[in-house]
Structure 1
Amino acid sequence: MSEPVALQVVPRPSPTLDPQVALRRVTPRLRPWRWLVSAVVLVVLAQFVWGIFTNSHYEWHKFWPFFTRESILDGVVVTLEVVGLSAVFGLLLGVLVALGRLSTNPLIGGLAWAYVWFFRALPLPLLLIITFNFSYFYPRLGVGIPWGPVFADVETASLTPLAIGVIALSLNEAAYAAEVIRGGILSVEHGQIEAANALGLSKARQLRRVVLPQALRSIVPAYGNQLIGLVKASSLVYYVSLLDLFGAVFVLESRHPESLVPILIVGAAWYLLLTAALSILQFYVERYFARGTAHAQPPTPVQRLRRLLTPRGVR
């Protein structure tokens, strides 16, 4: 019987690397078409901007006096008040309606569904007109025992145009906010809720410590978009005789028809500034609630600018 043969593993010699190749810098692949398209877009954009600022029909010399006019600034303040109050009340009511939609109680769930259906179906101008004429149907509203004594009441005719506009916008906003919140809560993985049940957490504690922190990652982008829509919808409070930014622009252009174009540009500029402020706020709120996720947080505008201005070899 022959003896086993021992095999010896001979290490494979490592290939020698040319020092010139080792020191060679890796350069990204050139994409000439990308640079060509970017150059064409920049040229067209520069021509467009140059045409706007050199066109005499825009009457840019009238822009700043109208932009800082007292009536316009007062309209901006009214718009901020309407949007701020409607956003707060609409969000609070939307949370209650969303929880009602998720309730297992058929009565509460049905009422919450009917609320969302009704106020999403009504056009906002019609809702504003109905709210404005609400005192015709119900001159007084009170709190008390049904078919019994009333403890406190209020005259609906005493409501100011600001209160009427805020009430109508809040009712409309709550219907959309409820669906946004409900969708965010339903996006949370069911295993998280099962784990919370296994730990013996109460429903309120589950909602506060487990569900909402994860649901807000889906709620914030959608609700931020809803707030931007609320800024534009606030221009409809002119139907209830509330002189907001849109109303101030409308009145100003009726008094100065010869300056129609610069006045309209002033209104558009103010709405763009308000929307830009909300977009920046939304970005940082989304970034805050994105902490703890697997993916990296998006860079801030300052970080993007710093990265753009930093030389490639220093990064």
Structure 2
Amino acid sequence: MTVDIDKTTGPADTPPAGPEAIKAIPVRHYGRYVSAVIAIAVFASIVYAFSQGKINWGAIPDYFFNDRILGGVGKTLMLTVLAMLIGVFGGILLAVMRLSKNPVTSSIAWFYIWFFRGTPVLVQLIVWFNLGLVFEYINLGPIYKDYWSSFMTPLLTALLGLGLNEAAYMAEICRAGLLAVDEGQTEASHALGMSHSKTLRRIVIPQAMRVIVPPTGNEVINMLKTTSLVSVIQYSELLRVAQDIGQTSGAPAEMLFLAAAWYLILTSIFSVGQYYIERYYARGSSRTLAPTPFQKIKANVLSLAGRRQ
């Protein structure tokens, strides 16, 4: 006797259960909390220490836009730009000389870089300022003749001391940028009949700018701060003016804080300019450029507005 079994009867087919969602538990980094607490405690201690000092904080806004202070800021900016121009053009010339196959020119460039990078810029400024003790006159033949003290003004001393020193550093930056360009670019341009100077102007230097611009921006910011050294040669830049006002107003420490605030503002502005210049020369090296700070802010604002809707 057989029994027919109905295979259709039985529990209904149920769909297979999907994988359970993983409950991710973030790892707690207790060291971050400890370091944050320590950093806040140190910052609060510094603020408390300064609050206990006899500092006339009101003197800083009173003199912040003083005519003498603004004049010192203008001279600082002028000195930074002129000294960097001397340094950039001198550095390009020295870099080309250093890469030259002529042993005389390359040796001269090497000696210049070795000397000016090996001696402190403050010593160079003082030497330029005191050369009048050695040379009574400056005699360039029929072109120019005058007393050294009349010729070597504080401004000229500052430009020579800062500009010639900067040229030694810019020479190495420019040389690194020129060497970063593939030699095949130069060989191809020569094969097309381009001269050496035209190859440098149209082929090598435009490509080398990607390597030269970032450290040059750092040198500009460093030059802006280095101009404070010219206060020792009686040039009335920002630090010198702040010191003079501090002595007459009875607030020397406050005026130093004021000068530091102005240097911080100027370096911040220069840093923003450096960012956009680097972004400009990075156009050919990447398909998509990194968003600017304003673009990031705009994107965040739009994303927040979209979430609220």
Normalised by the shorter chain, which TM-score bucket?
Answer: 0.7 to 0.9
Show the counterpart of 1:134: 131
C-alpha deviations, 1:111-154, integer Å up to 9, x for none?
Answer: 01111111111211111111112233331131xxxxxxx33123
Please state how far the C-alpha of 1:61 moved relative to its aligned partner: 2.7
Q: Is the CA contact 2:173–2:215 (under 8 Å) kept in the aligned structure 1?
A: yes
Q: Return the offset for 1:41.
A: 4.7
> Do the aligned residues in 1 keep the contact of 2:239 with 2:256 (CA within 8 Å)?
no
CA distance in 1, matches of 2:194, 2:36: 57
User: Which residue is equivalent to 1:197?
Assistant: 190
Pairing of 1:26-45 with structure 2 (within 5 A): 33=28, 37=32, 41=36
Residues of 2 paired with 1:298 and 1:60: CA distance? 40
Residues 52/305 of structure 1: CA separation in 2 closer, same or farther (3 Å cut): farther
Structure 1 segment 214-253 matched on structure 2, within 5 A: 214-253=207-246
Q: Aligned pair in 2 of structure 1 residues 94, 104: CA closer, same or farther (>3 Å)?
A: same
CA drift of 1:85 comes to 0.9
User: The residue matched to 1:268 in structure 2 has which SS?
Assistant: helix
Query: How many residues end up aligned between the 2 structures?
Result: 285
Equivalent in 277, 292, 302 of residue 269 of structure 2: 277
Per-residue CA deviations over 1:229-253 (Å, capped at 9, x if unaligned) read 1111111111211121111122222
Match of 1:140, SS state, is strand
Task: State the distance in 2 between where 1:56 and 1:183 align.
Answer: 50
CA distance in 2 between counterparts of 1:252 and 1:266 reads 11
The answer to whether the aligner puts 1:154 opposite 2:145 as a matched pair is: yes
Residue 309 (structure 1) aligned with residue 301 (structure 2):
yes
Give the gaps of 5 or more residues in structure 2: 1-15
Give ranges in structure 1 of 5+ residues lacking alignment: 1-17, 22-28, 143-149
Identity in percent? 35
Where do 1:158-197 residues align within 5 Å? 158-159=150-151, 160-197=153-190
- 1:105: how far off? 0.5
Shift of residue 33 of structure 1?
Answer: 4.9
Moved more, 102-111 or 133-142: 133-142
**Computing the radius of gyration over CA atoms, which structure comes out larger, 1 or 2?**
2
Pick closer, same or farther for the CA change 1:280–1:292 going to 2, 3 Å.
same
Letter in 2 for 1:238: S
Q: TM-score, normalised by structure 1?
A: 0.79
Q: In structure 2, what is the equivalent of residue 268 of structure 1?
A: 260
Q: Per the alignment, do residues 97 and 199 of structure 1 end up closer, same or farther by CA in structure 2, a change over 3 Å counting?
A: same
Which of these residues, 87, 92, 113, is aligned with residue 90 of structure 1?
Answer: 87
Which amino acid counterpart does residue 98 of structure 1 have in structure 2?
Answer: A
Alignment of 1:8-47 (within 5 A): 33=28, 37=32, 41=36
Amino acid at match of 1:268: A
* CA gap 1:199/1:246 in 2 versus in 1, 3 angstroms: same
1:244-295 Cα deviation digits (max 9, x unpaired): 11111222222344x3443222111100011111111111111111111135
Indicate how the Cα distance of structure 1 residues 152 and 266 shifts in structure 2: closer, same or farther if over 3 A, else same.
same
8 Å Cα contact 2:178-2:205 kept in structure 1: yes
Letter in 2 for 1:273: I
- 1:95 CA drift (Å): 1.2
